[in-house]
Structure 1
Amino acid sequence: MNRTMPGAAGDLAETYPDVWKGYSALGEAVAGAGPLTESERRLVKLALSIGAGSEGAVHSHTRRAKAEGIEMAALMQVALLSIGPLGLPRAVAAKTWIEDIKD
């Protein structure tokens, strides 16, 4: 099996390739809709994932950020910045989710 993504997203992409193609096209369109750099967009997506309380999305965006060369200190700062708007428990959870990704 040639898998490009782990978990449920990979399952969806394999089972419903046309849905995944449309979803990917939307992602490309919104990425190009403004002046944010690729790294800035990745950090925003990480922050939104933390705000949504989505462990899987935090894992995914952490994995991608690290692959794109974003330093761990920047990812940790995003978790710490969530203390104010989201509270200490959510920020601590986000920190542990980010730390889950070793590679």
Structure 2
Amino acid sequence: MSSDLPGAAGALSEKHPTVWEAYAALGEATAHAGDLTERERRLVKLALAIGAGSEGAVHSHTRRGLEQGISEADLHQVALLAIGTLGLPRAVAAGTWIADVTDA
């Protein structure tokens, strides 16, 4: 299986294509299990990545959000929304991870 995925995800998809295909199918199934728009799903996934403290996932969802036409301001607002729930340090870290992509 040829992969255009970065880093460890790409390596996993190359080494274990059936596992990656099952994971991708699960993602498709959950994406269509409700009425959220593609934009809403991307912002929720960004928020979940911030909450999980996953720098790589924040980078990924920021990149994908930009590709989908979500504005930089909207992506950065998700980090600001994290202040009340996750605290200022986590929100500031998330903002820098988003900036890694938006300022590149």
Per the normalisation by structure 1, the TM-score is: 0.96
Give the structure 1 partner of residue 48 of structure 2. 48
**Identity of matched residues, %:** 69
Amino acid across the alignment from 2:49: S
Structure 2 residues without counterparts, runs of 5 or longer? none
Tell me, in whole angstroms, the C-alpha distance in 1 between the residues paired with 2:100 and 2:3.
21
Once the two structures are superposed, the pairs formed by residues 1-103 of structure 1 within 5 Å of their partners are 2-101=2-101, 102=103
Structure 1: 5+ residue stretches without partners: none
Q: What is the distance in 1 between the residues matched to 2:77 and 2:85?
A: 14
Partner SS for 1:75: helix
In the aligned structure 2, how far is the partner of 1:9 from the partner of 1:63?
A: 15
One-letter amino acid of the counterpart of residue 34, structure 2:
G
Cα RMSD over matched residues? 1.0
Instruction: For 2:3 and 2:99, locate their aligned partners in 1 and report how far apart those are by CA, in whole Å.
Output: 24
Tell me the TM-score normalised to structure 2 length.
0.95
**C-alpha distance after superposition, 1:50-89 (max 9, x if no partner):** 0000000000100110111110011011000000000000
Residues 37-59 of structure 1 deviation map (CA, whole Å, 9 limit, x = unaligned): 00000000000000000000000
SS in structure 2 of the partner of residue 59 of structure 1: helix
Shift of the alpha carbon at 1:4?
1.1
Letter in 2 for 1:40: E
